[in-house]
Structure 1
Amino acid sequence: MKDAAQELLQTTFGHAGFRGEQAEIVECVASGNDALVLMPTGGGKSLCYQLPALLRDGCGIVISPLIALMQDQVEALRQVGVRAAYLNSTLDAAEAATVERDLLDGNLDLLYVAPERLLTPRCLNLLDRASISLFAIDEAHCVSQWGHDFRREYRELTVLHERWPEVPRIALTATADEPTRREIAERLGLEQARRFVSSFDRPNIRYRVVQKDGSGQRALLDFLHAHRGESGIVYAFSRKRVEKIAEQLQAAGINALPYHAGIDAGIRAANQRRFLQTDGVVMVATIAFGMGIDKPDVRFVAHVDLPKSVEGYYQETGRAGRDGAPAEAWLSYGLGDVVNLRMLINQSEAGEERKQVELRKLDALLGYCESTECRRQALLGWFGEAHDGACGNCDNCLEPPQTWDGTDAARKALSCVYRTGQRFGAGHVIDVLRGVQSDKVQRFGHDQLSTWGIGEDLDARQWSGVFRQLVALGLLEADHERHGALQLTALSGPVLRGERSLMFRKEAPRSTARRGSRSPGAGPMLDLGPEPLARFNALREWRATTAREQNVPAYVIFHDATLRTIAEAAPDDLDELARIPGIGASKLERYGEAVLQQLLDCAA
């Protein structure tokens, strides 16, 4: 079995060897056993079910939550000669009938189906009549009510084991803490399945967190200009924010597109297709965009608003650098984000237990943002993975933050919140602390308070940092019934009584990055010499033209990493080209001569 898997890996997918635990997972499932696989985005999860499906008799059924994901994965499989198809709402009746006939006639190796369609009587009866090699449940965290992408239909996938007990199942996810893992196993009947938990570390991703000034537009533009010409994703919290930011980026000359659930479905699909097929597009989106996005050359993921949880943040940032080349995860957040998210959680119709879980997850993310330790250590720790720290590829390691004794400032801030009646947001309380006259200060007579002007030693930005960290530490909370008014919690008592001291992170200076400057290590082609770079650009242009002709994403033709290796090696013939990683027999036959011609043209 191992030799057969290795041969398929080389001849079909063009890879000389397995990564991590891939070989063990493939052997486990190909031998007819169940598996629960936790592997980071970009770690090679797809091969873990694609290869066993090719090794076993019958067709592998892949349950996938997104239509766009199945279409791209099917096209990528067809490019390497695998007989793959999907059944979803994009097919008309005749096309769906052809797929069903191919399944029953044994002409498919892999069939992708959404959980909603799988659970219909028609589809279940179809599978009863087919030869099935395995069931693969992708994005398995969707089964968990505590996960960040809960899909009710996933709860009903126990039917797979009940109806086809002899067919092996493999459930896969890139994001799950221990409680979510337990629920996946329980809900899918995989308690006895062998578990494979790979490292969640993505060492090629640089993590950076910055404090938000106002809307964060200036800092975002500086960041994006350092990544000009690269593909990336900008996540914003609301549809309105997405559209506004996309317009601002377009006005700044950035090739940006909006994406959210409120946009016309046709436009939304066209924008996603353009992002997948075109180099250098920036997608501005809510979290409605991204699950299952398979584009390998996303060079950055930027969050202009705070996500809801560590899992959501990790999953979204994991869409960067799937090709293993340097990428960046950039997060801008402020006190307003914290207040708004807490209000949304408290105002939701969820049960109290659910609210407490969501609040704990938000607190964990705040702890990550405010940490002065290695970002990677804090991030991996949430998933139960130890890391020594000092990763050398996060802001805290590259530019160690300074701290200061904020005990006195915290007591002033907490006292002022109390003296103003716990009825106001941070902006007004900061005005009182700094002795700034405003209409609101005069209207409520707050210039007569004992806390008036006692904080003149700090500027507004420094005070904003104090309040942000007090909320993150749980000493202050926002009252959702009073539009985010700050209130003291029980944890504030020891600080006010002088029984607890606090160390705060110093506010970083405002961004001074020049437009056109580039983040260290960003961009996978910076270190190519003039001749290889010319070959790489020529190959990229040929790939773009070929992808447009076939109406497929460019990366299903060849990944950037493959083009880079070709550009560096400059092979003279098909035998040499066949030794390049990522070029299997099918792609060699389809594109080999065209690639060699591009290299010859560059040499002329």
Structure 2
Amino acid sequence: MMNQAIEVLKQYFGYNHFRKGQEDVIKHILTGEDVVCIMPTGGGKSICYQVPAMVFPGVTIVISPLISLMKDQVDSLTEVGIPATYINSTLTVQEMNDRLYDLKAGKYKLLYVAPERLEAGLFAEVMDEMPISLIAVDEAHCISQWGHDFRPSYAKIGSIISRMKKKPVIAALTATATPKVQEDICEQLKINPNNSVKTGFQRENLSLSIVKGADKLSYMDSFLQQNREESGIIYATTRQDVEKIHERLSKKGYSVSKYHGGMRDIEREEQQQSFINDNNQIMIATTAFGMGIDKSNIRYIIHYQLPKNMEGYYQEAGRAGRDGLASKCILLYSAQDIRIQRFLIEQTSFDMDKQKQEIEKLQAMINFCHTEGCLEQYILQYFGEVHSEKCGRCSNCTDNRSMVDVTIETQKVLSCMIRMGEKFGKTMIAQVLTGSKSKKVIDFQLDKIKTYGLMKEKSAKEISDFMEFLISEQYIDVSLGSMPILKVANKGKEVLLGNVKVMRKEQMQVVSITEENGLFHFLRSIRKQLADQEKVPPFVVFSDETLRNISLLKPSTLEEFRQIKGIGDHKLKKYGETMIHSLNQYQSENEQEIQEVNTHNSLLKKTTSKKSVENSHLVTLELFQEGLDIKQIAKNRELNVQTIENHLLKCGEEARDINWNVFLSDEDHSKIMEVVNELGNSKLKPIKEALPSEISYFMIKIALMLNSRDTVKH
């Protein structure tokens, strides 16, 4: 029968060979064995039941969760000459009856139905009258309460099949199933676990990236501009975000479709078809879009917010590059996303066990965003697959920042948690470590413990981000209740005992003027009042950038107010006195907080400009690589020129460990060697000796720069 299967593959699909795993699944089916097929999105699961359907006599029933998926599959099969149809709520009663009649007459080989349709008594009777050889349960993860998209109707499939007069072969297929979900599928459909074909979750053509802390809209604009001709999907959590992004990109001239549950069926169908047919290049959608979509030329997936679980994320990311070509999957992450997802979980999951399960899955997703290991390895491990090699493609694997020892910082955090009784969440711990005088900290007398203010040189956000890293690396455990409580994990206890070192990639310092700044939020409320009076949007009154500058500079006169970027004569006259009065009011009422903010900004500036002595030369190197000259770096870092030169020379002496060599023309190489030889008796001599045949690019720049400043003469 396998020869027949290969003939079907050639005749209808145009392939000479099956892909990895397909042949194994089809062999099970053709020999009458039930089978579970776990293949990544784009792996060719549909072929696994469509080919046997053409080999077997009678009809193959395909249980599919979405109407759009049924139509796409049927259209594709009809296009290659395979007789297929579907029955769902889009049909009239007469159309349904006609199709059922044609099915009994043997006109169709495949019938697509929703699981709910199987429960209808009349349809069950019709099924008993049809010669059904195979039942394919697509998106089989929906059968398990441990799956990311559980549907009660799927849980009834097993019992419905068991009542059939003649039991057909069962094939359960999914792209995303953890070991627990795989176990549930086998148990509920009574499939021997040994009859499981898994091709692995690895997608070698996908490059995964996590982007944290960026301005999402600006990042997205930049990415789309560089990939304007490519087709992609942007996933957003809410309908409002879909509409906002769709409107923004449409105004910028992009050909954009949108898809969410608030649209009419006919409108969603039109938008989806425009995208699938390449009339529109970009689809903006909630997660309601995409399950089973066969569009193969999707070059990128952007998640505008944190997905609620790993299964959903990887299924959505897997819609890129179904044709096997290189594609990008980018997740834009911010801490605000967590609050949104927790809120949605609490609003939609009323069963406490289910809610706990969803929060656990969300935490795994958060850990994914904060891990500094290979992103693909994390995913494979999540789905129960051991893979020792790093992918070499993801944003973590291609990140060349050096590792720094953060053991002492870790011990400070863990020690503080223990002294707080391990009964608080991330926010309170960060407040204690920064020495906050918030009401809750004082009420709980946490300002009296030894670790209070132990990390006051850091911002609360920096400490929160650091704790997320420690959680992702399993030094800290998180309770799964509605109010997450942090506890020191066993791995963390080893750190406290001095048995384990904690290493982390060096962090890029980002100065945020208004971070943890109550004044900024106060000014936003004043802006809103002014906007309401004028009946205009708040940003028309002042942009956020202008508000941030006001909160930083705190102008006390109209002349000072006029110097702020974004304040023209008209706004000065219209709003100047009101804003200065509001500033004076806030400062008189919040003197202590303002003093703390000023102290924090001063410390942050100092920390950012000088950093630690140990790695200070690497900070200088980062600025040098960005194109700043020595004088600019010295001014930026508040250091003298000689210190900056010494930093670069120290980097040069470490050049053997830096993989930045480039190819040079003979002429360029000669010029460089002349400079290096001229400086042969200077501090550059060790560099020349360390690099006898190749000169790294940044060392060339140093040599030329030092030479141009007549360093040798001095």
- Cα deviation for residue 346 of structure 1 reads 6.3
User: How far apart in 1 are the matches of 2:198 and 2:433?
Assistant: 50
Residue in structure 2 matched with residue 292 of structure 1 by the alignment? 292
Query: Do the aligned partners of 1:296 and 1:321 also contact (CA within 8 Å) in 2?
Result: yes
For residue 229 of structure 1, report the CA deviation from its aligned partner.
Answer: 2.2
- The Cα shift of 1:228 comes to 1.6
> Using a 3 Å threshold, how does the CA distance of structure 1 residues 41 and 164 change in structure 2: closer, same or farther?
farther
C-alpha distance 229-279 of structure 1, shift in aligned 2 (>3 A): farther
Structure-1 separation of matches of 2:48 and 2:218: 43
Q: Does 1:88 align with 2:100?
A: no
Q: Is residue 2:184 matched to residue 1:186?
A: no
Q: Matched residue of 2:136: which SS? A: strand
Is contact 2:233-2:284 (8 Å) kept? yes
Match of 1:22 in 2: 22
Question: 2:442 & 2:187 partners in 1: Cα distance?
Answer: 60
Once residues 447 and 256 of structure 1 are traced to their aligned partners in structure 2, the CA distance between those partners, rounded to angstroms, is 53
Extract unaligned runs of 5+ from structure 1. Answer: 515-604
Alignment-mate amino acid for residue 126 of structure 1: V
Instruction: Please name the residue that 2:211 is paired with.
Output: 210
Q: In the aligned structure 1, how far is the partner of 2:195 from the partner of 2:450?
A: 64
Of residues 69-78 and 432-441 in structure 1, the stretch that sits farther from structure 2 once superposed is 432-441
Q: Is the 8 A contact 1:21 1:198 kept in 2?
A: yes
Task: Tell me what 2:235 maps to.
Answer: 235
1:197 equivalent in structure 2: 198
Shift of 1:460: 7.3
Aligned mates of 1:448, 1:301 — CA distance in 2 = 49
The more displaced of 285-294 and 60-69 is: 285-294
Q: Does the residue aligned with 1:101 lie in a helix, a strand or coil?
A: helix
1:386 partnered with 2:401: no
Q: Find out whether 1:66 has 2:78 as its counterpart.
A: no
> Cα RMSD over matched residues?
3.8
Distance 1:356 1:487, change over 3 A: closer
Distance 1:440 1:213 in 2: 31
C-alpha distance in 2, partners of 1:436/1:140? 50
Contact 2:371 2:469 in 1 (8 A): no
Matched position secondary structure for 2:396? helix
Change (3 A) 1:429 1:387: closer
- Per the alignment, do residues 445 and 246 of structure 1 end up closer, same or farther by CA in structure 2, a change over 3 Å counting? farther
Contact 2:423 2:487 in 1 (8 A): no
Residue 170 (structure 2) pairs with residue 169 (structure 1): yes
Aligned to 1:125: 125
Q: State the Cα distance separating 1:108 from its structure 2 match.
A: 0.7
Tell me how far 1:376 sits from its aligned partner.
Answer: 1.8
Match of residue 49 from structure 1: 49
1:348, distance to aligned residue in structure 2 (A): 6.2
1:144-155 to 2 correspondence within 5 Å?
144-155=144-155
Spell out the pairing of 1:223-262 with structure 2 (5 A cutoff): 223-262=223-262
Residue 398, structure 1, aligned to residue 409, structure 2: no
The 3-state SS of whatever aligns with 1:179 is helix
- Pick closer, same or farther for the CA change 1:28–1:356 going to 2, 3 Å: same
Larger relative contact order (C-alpha < 8 A, sep ≥ 6)? 1
Q: Which TM-score applies when normalising by structure 2?
A: 0.63
Q: 1:506-553 deviations in whole A, cap 9, x for unaligned?
A: 44578x9x9xxxxxxxxxxxxxxxxxxxxxxxxxxxxxxxxxxxxxxx
Q: Quick check: 2:370–2:468 contact (8 Å CA) kept in 1?
A: no
Shift of 1:433: 6.8
Pairs within 5 Å for 1:312-331: 312-331=312-331
Q: Measure how far apart 1:358 and its partner are.
A: 3.1
CA shift at 1:223, angstroms?
Answer: 2.7
In the other structure, the counterpart of 1:555 is none
CA drift of 1:15 comes to: 0.7
Residue 137 (structure 2) pairs with residue 137 (structure 1):
yes
Letter in 2 for 1:42: G
Q: 1:403, CA displacement in angstroms?
A: 3.5
Report the residue type matching 1:108 in the other structure.
Answer: Y
Deviations 1:370-414 (A, max 9, x none): 222222222112222222323222122222454333344456667
Q: Distance in 2 between matches of 1:423 and 1:254?
A: 47
Q: Distance in 2 between matches of 1:193 and 1:463?
A: 47
Per the alignment, in what secondary structure is the counterpart of residue 489 of structure 1?
Answer: strand
The range that moved more, 99-108 or 450-459, is 450-459
> Which one is further off, 456-465 or 256-265?
456-465
AA of the residue aligned to 2:59:
C
Higher gyration radius (CA): 2
**Pairwise mapping of residues 345-364 of structure 1 onto structure 2 (< 5 A)?**
345=345, 349-364=349-364
CA distance in 2, matches of 1:407, 1:161: 58
Describe the shift of the 1:422–1:52 C-alpha distance in structure 2 as closer, same or farther (beyond 3 A): closer
SS of match in other structure, 1:397: coil
User: Partner of 1:89: helix, strand, or coil?
Assistant: coil
CA shift digits 1:166-221 (9 cap, x unpaired): 4211111111111101101111222377221112211011111121336x222222
> Is the contact made by 1:475 and 1:491 (CA closer than 8 Å) also made in structure 2?
yes
Confirm or deny: 8 A CA contact 2:257 2:280 kept in the other structure. no
d(CA) in 2 for partners of 1:470 and 1:23?
44
SS of equivalent to 2:126: helix
Moved more, 236-245 or 75-84: 236-245
When residues 459 and 110 of structure 1 are mapped into structure 2, their CA distance, relative to the original with a 3 A threshold, is same
Q: Residues 505 and 254 (structure 1 numbering): CA distance in 2 closer, same or farther, change over 3 Å?
A: farther
Kindly tell me: are residues 337 and 298 of structure 1, through their superposed partners in 2, closer, same or farther at Cα, counting changes over 3 Å? same
Query: Aligned partners of 1:455, 1:317: CA distance in 2, in Å?
Result: 38
What's the offset of the Cα at 1:148?
Answer: 0.6
Q: CA deviation at 1:60?
A: 1.1
Which residue in the other structure is 2:7 paired with? 7
Determine the C-alpha separation between the residues in 2 that align with 1:281 and 1:432: 49
Query: For residues 354 and 348 of structure 2, what CA distance do their matches in structure 1 show?
Result: 10
The letter for the 1-side match of 2:157 is L
Helix, strand or coil for the counterpart of 1:163?
A: coil
Instruction: Summarize the Cα distance change of 1:363–1:441 in structure 2 as closer, same or farther, 3 Å threshold.
Output: closer
Task: Single out whichever of 409-418 and 332-341 deviates more from structure 2.
Answer: 409-418
Q: Does the C-alpha gap of structure 1 residues 464 and 254 become closer, same or farther in structure 2, counting only changes over 3 Å?
A: farther
Normalising by structure 1, we get a TM-score of 0.74
Find the residue that maps to 2:227 and give its secondary structure.
Answer: coil
Query: Match for 2:251: what amino acid?
Result: A
Residues 37 and 171 in structure 2, CA contact (< 8 A), matched pair in contact too: yes
Code of the residue aligned with 2:185 in structure 1: it is: I
Which of 462, 477, 487 is the matching residue for 1:489? 487
In structure 2, C-alpha distance between the alignment counterparts of 1:240 and 1:480, rounded to whole Å: 28
Once the two structures are overlaid, the 10-residue window that deviates more, 275-284 or 464-473, is 464-473
Q: Secondary structure at the match of 2:234?
A: strand
Greater shift, 288-297 or 344-353, is seen at 344-353
Deviation by residue 1:53-76 (Cα, 9 ceiling, x = unmatched): 101111111111111011011111
The residue type equivalent to 1:244 in the other structure is K
